[in-house]
């Protein structure tokens, strides 16, 4: 808690160029961009970083192929370029992956027509990925025997990308970069409103953990509250050109359905794309698209039934998936940006996930509407431009604020890891060598972790049974990842609670030890707090298993 407490003091006592409300992907990338280029930045989130929409994604980083049908080619081109940029700059995290799409009889387009579209998609992405491929039903069956091709007329395969790790972890790495660049950041701090007087904002902040209130002062206020942007704008009296509609999407995490490293794509009964996505030793299945009136949502039995029914129609499994197979769920809303003048009755199924930066120069206020993981670097760059237009000096305009460390540093890490035999210490439950895992998750900080393991080999031992977490990772999390509640670790810095059954975690001695490392004297309190409040999928049914990648 030292890091958080230190940042709370700075937030209360310093004056900032920019204060960002919200630590999802939009706020995190904006903070990293601004701090990296030398602005004095603060960021608060009323929950944990990536605690809403940004932790409920499909983990896909894609160029928006579905927008080809609506002929939104400018958006597709932009997203494809953004996807390519992420693959190049985060090669350990954002990886190209093949999408095998099966077309059923009676679908509105022939496979050959859609296949031609994938070539256009490939060209709009500058031919950056592997070329598309056309499949007959027999070819699909040969590639993926679990697909039911009895009612298929063909299909195609093309490339996009996905996050090898967790979406929330990807967001936190931007938060970590912002901290490294000097930003003052704190989770569990809410804004109760703000006023703009004499060219400066004063934000009324409240520490959610202890209830203490304090002011934060900044020249520019950026509202990056995700689905709650409209609500915070009402608190500050902002009039904006855009507003949000909400679409709920859920995913089910189930045992691994296929060990191939590709996404299986179908068109669900409602006509939208439906995915089977690899997640280490698990599989993520979804999604739904349900119009909602507000951002507070939960998984319903109808949602579960829809996903299970659609996947069982399209796969030939030894036995159909049932609620008994569900390990965990993802459930969040997509905040869809629309013109405020268009009203709230526009069909959200036709809306894209584009982001919009809405600036009020009279009050030095910026709102970020919509957005998706794929577009995060563009959001950061656009916020820099807007902040500059509002009169804030950017000391290092040419500094590259994103990306993994230089290749020479990665090579140095890998050479050191090889000399000490790190990969030979990889737990048998792991889905990848320790060297690859540590570099992807911690980059330059992984060098210090090698030193910890050299000094004390027990730091390389598995800590939480059924996962991939080793002891030195918990030390790193305690020191530099601002973990305030157990869910911050289990769900967002890691994906443990996504892939390990709730009951198994509750009886894990390794998790209790992890709690002691993270929270000290408060370990038992935090452990009980989590299991008293965390969603247990046993409200649908109970599933137990072991040995997963987390």
**Tens digit of each residue's pLDDT (9 = 90 or more) over 111-155:** 999 999 999 999 999 999 999 999 999 999 999 999 999 999 999
Q: What is the pLDDT of residue 542?
A: 39
Distance CA 440, CA 164 (A): 9
387 vs 389: CA distance, rounded Å: 5
**Start-to-end CA span in the chain (Å):** 24
pLDDT score for 541: 45
Helices 407-419/434-442 angle, 10° precision: 140
- pLDDT for position 218: 98
Neighbours of 95 (CB within 10 A): 16
- Residue 543 confidence (pLDDT): 38
Give the pLDDT of residue 545: 38
For the whole model, what pTM was predicted?
0.94
Contact indicator for 168, 491 with CB cutoff of 8 Å: yes
Bridge partners of residue 335, in order along the sequence: 246
CA–CA separation, 469 and 496 (whole Å)? 9
Cα(467)–Cα(260) distance, integer angstroms:
21
The per-residue pLDDT for 346 is 46
* H helix or E strand, kind and range, residue 308: helix 301-314
Residue 540: per-residue pLDDT = 53
Residue 349 confidence (pLDDT): 52
Q: Mapped to the 3 state alphabet, what secondary structure does 244-288 carry?
A: EEEEEEEEEEEECCCCCCEEEEEECCCCCEEEEEEECCEEEEECC
pLDDT the model gives residue 331: 95
Buried b (16+ CB within 10 A) or exposed e, 211-235: eeeeebbbbbbbbbbbbbbbebbeb
List of the chain residues with pLDDT < 50: 344-346, 537-538, 541-549
């Amino acid at each position: 808690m030292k890091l958080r407490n230190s940042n709370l003091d700075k937030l209360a006592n310093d004056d900032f160029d920019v204060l960002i409300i919200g630590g999802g992907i939009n706020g995190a990338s904006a903070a990293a961009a601004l701090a990296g280029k030398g602005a004095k930045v603060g960021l608060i989130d009323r929950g944990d970083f990536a605690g809403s929409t940004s932790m409920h994604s499909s983990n896909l980083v894609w160029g928006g192929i579905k927008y080809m049908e609506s002929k939104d080619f400018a958006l597709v081109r932009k997203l494809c370029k953004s996807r390519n940029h992420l693959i190049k700059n985060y090669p350990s995290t954002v990886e190209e992956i093949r999408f095998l799409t099966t077309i059923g009889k009676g679908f509105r387009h022939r496979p050959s027509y859609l296949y031609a579209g994938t070539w256009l998609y490939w060209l709009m992405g500058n031919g950056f990925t592997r070329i598309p491929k056309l499949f007959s039903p027999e070819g699909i069956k040969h590639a993926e025997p679990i697909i039911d091709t009895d009612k298929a007329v063909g299909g195609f395969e093309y490339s996009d990308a996905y996050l090898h790790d967790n979406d929330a972890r990807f967001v936190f790495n931007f938060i970590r970069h912002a901290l490294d660049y000097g930003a003052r950041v704190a989770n569990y701090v809410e804004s109760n409103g703000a006023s703009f007087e004499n060219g400066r904002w004063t934000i009324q902040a409240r520490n959610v953990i202890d209830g203490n209130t304090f002011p934060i002062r900044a020249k520019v206020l950026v509202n990056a509250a995700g689905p709650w942007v409209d609500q915070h704008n009402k608190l500050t009296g902002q009039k904006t050109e855009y507003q949000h509609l909400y679409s709920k999407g859920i995913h089910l995490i189930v045992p691994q359905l296929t060990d191939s490293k590709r996404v299986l794509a179908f068109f669900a009964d409602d006509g939208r794309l439906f995915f089977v996505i690899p997640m280490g030793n698990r599989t993520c299945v979804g999604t739904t698209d349900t119009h909602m009136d507000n951002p507070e949502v939960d998984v319903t039995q109808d949602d579960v039934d829809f996903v299970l029914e659609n996947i069982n129609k399209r796969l030939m499994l030894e036995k159909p998936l049932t609620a008994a197979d569900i390990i965990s769920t993802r459930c969040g809303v997509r905040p869809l940006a629309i013109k405020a003048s268009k009203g709230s009755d526009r069909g959200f199924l036709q809306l894209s996930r584009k982001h919009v930066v809405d600036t009020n120069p009279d009050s030095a206020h910026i709102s970020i509407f919509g957005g998706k993981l794929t577009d995060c670097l563009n959001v950061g760059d656009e916020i820099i431009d807007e902040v500059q237009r509002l009169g804030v000096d950017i000391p290092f305009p040419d500094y590259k604020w994103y990306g993994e460390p230089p290749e020479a540093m990665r090579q140095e890490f890998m050479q050191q890891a090889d000399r000490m035999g790190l990969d030979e210490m990889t737990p048998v439950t792991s889905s990848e060598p320790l060297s690859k895992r540590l570099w992807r998750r911690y980059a330059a900080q992984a060098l210090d972790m090698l030193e910890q393991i050299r000094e004390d080999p027990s730091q390389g031992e598995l800590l939480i049974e059924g996962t991939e977490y080793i002891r030195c990772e918990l030390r790193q999390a305690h020191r530099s990842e601002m973990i305030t509640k157990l869910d911050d670790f289990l769900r967002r810095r890691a994906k443990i609670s996504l892939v390990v059954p709730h009951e198994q975690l509750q009886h894990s001695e390794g998790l209790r030890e992890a709690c002691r490392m993270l929270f000290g004297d408060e370990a038992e309190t935090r452990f009980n707090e989590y299991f008293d409040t965390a969603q247990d999928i046993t409200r649908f049914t109970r599933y137990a298993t072991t040995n997963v990648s987390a």
